[in-house]
A and B are shown apart, each in its own frame.
Chain A
Amino acid sequence: MSDIGLPASVEALRRVREDPHRLGHHAHGAREPVTGAGHGATGPAQKRIIVGYGFWIFLLSDIVVFSCFFAAFAVQRGETAGGPSMAEIVDVRRVVFETAALLLSSYTCMLSFASTNARSRLWTEVFLLVTGLLGLVFVLLEVQEFVELAGRGITPQRSGMLTAFFGLVGLHGLHVTAGGLWLATMMAQVLIKGFRREIVHRLICFNLFWHALDIVWIGIFTIVYLMGSIA
């Protein structure tokens, strides 16, 4: 760049220099919108912000779907129709392991994204792999739980409470499984295509998805398992 900028860009430069991290607090200088954030007349937002926003809308609608299943469980939790109650089918030890696996996978997912930002292909792949393996542990534990319950004759047909229970927990397990498949394709894409812009955008979306699943699991282990075990 030349050592003298165009007068029109000076204002934009000043804003960036005075607020390099775009915190928008305007400790000093003008109280105008920040460039790149998509506000006012500062031009369109960056693509990654728009992509993240669109996927965020999808995630929120997914969470609304989960909230319907939560509502169904909350309404049906006492309707055991003479069958086993929640307290009889909860194995808190397994839930501890499931929670630990999912929480750690959220952590390694975050580390993979840090590696993506450092543009390290090796560490991105390593942390994505660890994330996937922890997700697999979670899914296997859940399958084991369902098989064990089915072996004791506890199936979704038994009572309204069990229908809601299997629906809610099963839907979450299905999401984790789908997320695992997505993760595998992301690993292949990073391996073959590298950190192209659209690949990074997909990695951002995958991260959001995986963390959102963990948020839903917080609701499940609290409301379904822990509150079920003490009721």
Chain B
Amino acid sequence: MSNLESDRDLYAGPLNDLEDHAPGDEPPEEESGHWVRNANLGLGFSIVLTASAFLLAGSHVIYAPAIPVALIVLAIAQMGVHLVFFLHVTTGPDNTNNVLALAFGILVVFLVVGGSIWIMAHLKQNMMPAAQLMQMQQ
């Protein structure tokens, strides 16, 4: 490697703590500042989103049939805020596996919830009204 000759100071100076570790070993944590900053941001966004959800549910500010959709959008936004600021799901290389697992989890959740609602709605539509069913059983 010729870098050693070309830039001795940059590549061969004393190691800092982040560099001085073996594979499988851990570098010491960074300072806690950015965790606190993330927590504050996350709390701020969450309060805004939650408060608007609760205010919206009890108000007549927007078109009433649109309220459930608005609530769901707010909930998904808040889950995103939690994932980013509290659970620290990032685009970094140490997180690719986490993101893929999350994507698969979301797929399963949508299949279970969406599939159940879909199937049961059709089943209900095709079923005989309860009164009629009782009459047949007699």
Is B3 in contact with chain A by the CB < 8 A criterion? Answer: yes
Residue of B nearest to A35 (CB): B23
Contact A48 B26 (CB under 8 A): yes
Which residues of A have CB within 8 Å of B78? Answer: 218
Contact B94 A92 (CB under 8 A): no
Contact A10 B1 (CB under 8 A): yes
Contact B47 A214 (CB under 8 A): no
Which residues of B have CB within 8 Å of A16? Answer: 18-19
Residue of A nearest to B29 (CB): A117
Which residues of B have CB within 8 Å of A71? Answer: 112-113, 115-117
Which one of B4, B12, B29, B94 contacts A22 once the chains associate, using CB atoms below 8 Å?
B94
CB distance from A23 to the nearest CB of B (A): 6
Which residues of A have CB within 8 Å of B105? Answer: 60-61, 63-64
Which one of B12, B24, B39, B54 contacts A46 once the chains associate, using CB atoms below 8 Å?
B24
Q: Which of A14, A45, A114 has its CB near the most chain B CB atoms (within 10 A)?
A: A114
Contact B3 A10 (CB under 8 A): yes
CB distance from B55 to the nearest CB of A (A): 10
Contact A64 B11 (CB under 8 A): no
Is A175 in contact with chain B by the CB < 8 A criterion? Answer: no
Mask, B36-56, CB within 8 Å of A = 1, is 101100110011001001100
With contacts A20-B18, A211-B82 taken as known, whether A75 is within 8 angstroms of B108 at the C-beta atoms is no
Contact B12 A218 (CB under 8 A): no
Is A27 in contact with chain B by the CB < 8 A criterion? Answer: no
Contact A68 B112 (CB under 8 A): yes
Mask, B74-103, CB within 8 Å of A = 1, is 110011001100110001111011100110
**B side interface size, CB within 8 A:** 66
CB distance from B29 to the nearest CB of A (A): 4
What CA separation (Å) do A45 and B64 show in the bound complex?
A: 51
Which one of A35, A75, A230 contacts B120 once the chains associate, using CB atoms below 8 Å?
A75
Contact A96 B54 (CB under 8 A): yes
Is A227 in contact with chain B by the CB < 8 A criterion? Answer: yes
What CA separation (Å) do A2 and B114 show in the bound complex?
A: 61
Mask, A68-90, CB within 8 Å of B = 1, is 10111011000000000000000
Q: A53-B97, A103-B50, A221-B53 are in contact. List 6 more A-B contacts (CB 8 A).
A: A10-B3, A57-B101, A63-B105, A67-B112, A219-B75, A229-B58
Measured CB to CB, the residues of A under 8 A from B are: 1, 3-5, 7, 10-11, 13-14, 16-17, 20-24, 33-39, 42-49, 52-53, 56-57, 60-61, 63-64, 67-68, 70-72, 74-75, 92, 95-96, 99, 103-104, 106-107, 110-111, 113-115, 117-119, 197, 208, 211-212, 214-215, 218-219, 221-223, 226-227, 229-230
**4 smallest A-B Cβ distances: which pairs?**
A43-B23, A60-B105, A114-B35, A71-B116
Measured CB to CB, the residues of B under 8 A from A are: 1, 3-4, 10-15, 18-20, 23-27, 29-32, 35-36, 38-39, 42-43, 46-47, 50, 53-54, 57-58, 64, 67-68, 71-72, 74-75, 78-79, 82-83, 86-87, 91-94, 96-98, 101-102, 104-105, 108-109, 112-113, 115-117, 120
